[in-house]
A and B are shown apart, each in its own frame.
Chain A
Amino acid sequence: AQKVTQAQTEISVVEKEDVTLDCVYETRDTTYYLFWYKQPPSGELVFLIRRNSFDEQNEISGRYSWNFQKSTSSFNFTITASQVVDSAVYFCALSPDTGTASKLTFGTGTRLQVTL
């Protein structure tokens, strides 16, 4: 069975601070995909990144960066110099390589509040 744990329920930071959202996963599959989604107050889930289990390279996209460590089953997400617009709920998700939407397991989400 798959499991995604986002232990941080809520994080509050002041604008321009760096913040890291933790994601720990469990799976018996040898190949799998990991995802991060952002859910702003408007409700829709916005895709941020997809990472294949074979690719452990860290990725940076603007102020966003992701640290994938297979050895610790973690896929952490860091926002550098946070902004108020980053305020949202962030979900980490996991799927087997052969999976479709039905196999996507979401974490419980981390609510990020960025204040001035």
Chain B
Amino acid sequence: KAGVTQTPRYLIKTRGQQVTLSCSPISGHRSVSWYQQTPGQGLQFLFEYFSETQRNKGNFPGRFSGRQFSNSRSEMNVSTLELGDSALYLCASSNGLAGRIYNEQFFGPGTRLTVL
């Protein structure tokens, strides 16, 4: 079974630009979550999607948005990039209803975004 895939793996952008990151969950998984990982703030929850609906959103500004498609693939978008958005963005998928926490999350390798 293929794991969670994220594209692209690496990305370099400049301040003010926007970026779209993609996540393909494990086949059959309907729940996708996104996390931002930075040296200063650690791992922080961004969004959680289940069946194309955003179930929860973390404490991030409106520049961060996301969506989930009918095939469970998910994208996240960051507009008007700032230097502080440089981070590893991790996507995770899980099975079961509404991605309850007792269902194991499987993480992708992440997209490393560098904002210059």
**Interface on A for B, CB 8 Å cutoff?**
33, 37, 42-47, 50, 52, 91, 95-97, 99-104, 106-109
**Contact yes or no, A44 B48, CB < 8 A:** no
Residue pairs across A and B with CB atoms within 8 Å: the count is 69
Q: How many residues of B contact A (CB 8 A)?
A: 29
Residues of B within 8 A of A103 (CB): 101
CB distance from B27 to the nearest CB of A (A): 17
Indicate which residue in A44, A99, A108 contacts B110 across the interface (CB closer than 8 Å).
Answer: A44
A100 and B112 in contact, given A43-B88, A45-B90, A45-B107 (Cβ under 8 angstroms): no
A33 and B42 in contact, given A42-B109, A100-B56 (Cβ under 8 angstroms): no
Within the assembled complex, what's the spacing in Å between the Cα atoms of A46 and B104?
10
> Chain A contact residues: over half helix, strand or loop, or mixed?
mixed
15 contacts between A and B (CB under 8 A): A43-B112, A44-B108, A44-B110, A45-B90, A47-B105, A91-B43, A97-B102, A100-B31, A100-B48, A100-B56, A101-B45, A101-B56, A102-B48, A102-B55, A103-B101
